Amino acid sequence: MTTPLPRRLAAEAVGTAVLAAVLVGSGIRATGLSQDGGVRLLANVLASVLALAVLIALLSPVSGAHLNPLVSAAAWWTERRSGTGLTGRELAGYVLAQLAGATAGVGVANAMFERPFVELSGQERAAGHLWLAEGVATGVLILLVFGLLRSDRGRYAPVAVAAWIGAACWGTSSGSFANPALTLGRALSDTYTGIAPGSVPAFVLAQAAGAAVGLAVVTALFGRARHLAPDDARELLAHPAGR
């Protein structure tokens, strides 16, 4: 039986909040403990990917553990004609829950380290190579999630998604935000992991473009989504996330 929508939305909000709190909090902690940029990045990435893997494994049976508006949008898009995936109303609820969770999680991280609950970031991140990096990081994330699902290997998502995000944090110039909710949340913390509010729209547009390309590549490599029976579709969507 499908998990009631309120419980699914609660899972998305709580999961995104915890992920945001660990992401920002570990960045603050790393900055306080080391002046070495490589050590800071290593600590921040390690904490974030461990949290991501645990949250996907924990919350997948409840909401699918999307924790990312673009994963939710892609899930809706791929099953929009079958009547077995997210509805438009559910998609809107997922996105709002993720945005609220990211905002709350960042605020809690700020407060845990004796900073203002809301503190707008001053870190400008506006350049073509950063937008390209965001597109690549997000596109491969979508390719990974939905490629695993279409090849019936969704059970590997917790490890595979966390591994890709960790690799992309090191392998892209932007640090692989790859998640509009967390990107917006990070604008509310003037710390190591922050992004200036004025830089957010371009990052989100680049992420959306990357997600669209990622879905196109999924279709090219794995074919179009199968139209599943409702019970099968719910199981399929119980394994999709991003940092």
Higher pLDDT, 159 or 237: 159
CA–CA distance, 195 with 95 (Å, rounded to integer)? 20
> What is the H or E stretch that residue 222 is in?
helix 200-222
In the chain, the domains with their CATH numbers are 5-236 (1.20.1080.10)
**Tell me: the pLDDT tens digits for 4-55?**
999 999 999 999 999 999 999 999 999 999 999 999 999 999 999 999 999 9
Distance CA 194, CA 30 (A): 14
pLDDT tens track for 164-187: 999 999 999 999 999 999 999 999
Can you give the pLDDT at residue 231?
39
What pLDDT score does 48 carry?
97
Token digits for 100?
Answer: 């609220």
4: left (phi over 0), alpha (psi -120 to 50) or beta: beta
What separation, in Å, do the N-terminal and C-terminal C-alpha atoms of the chain show?
29
Mean pLDDT (the chain) is 91
243 pLDDT tier (thresholds 50, 70, 90): very low
pLDDT, position 226: 62
pTM here is 0.90
Write out the two tokens for 26: 């570990």
For 109-167, the three-class secondary structure string (H helix, E strand, C coil) is HHHHCCCCCCCCCCCCCCCHHHHHHHHHHHHHHHHHHHHHHHCCCHHHHHHHHHHHHHH
8 Å CB contact between 84 and 91:
no
What is the Cα–Cα distance from 186 to 180, expressed in whole angstroms? Answer: 10
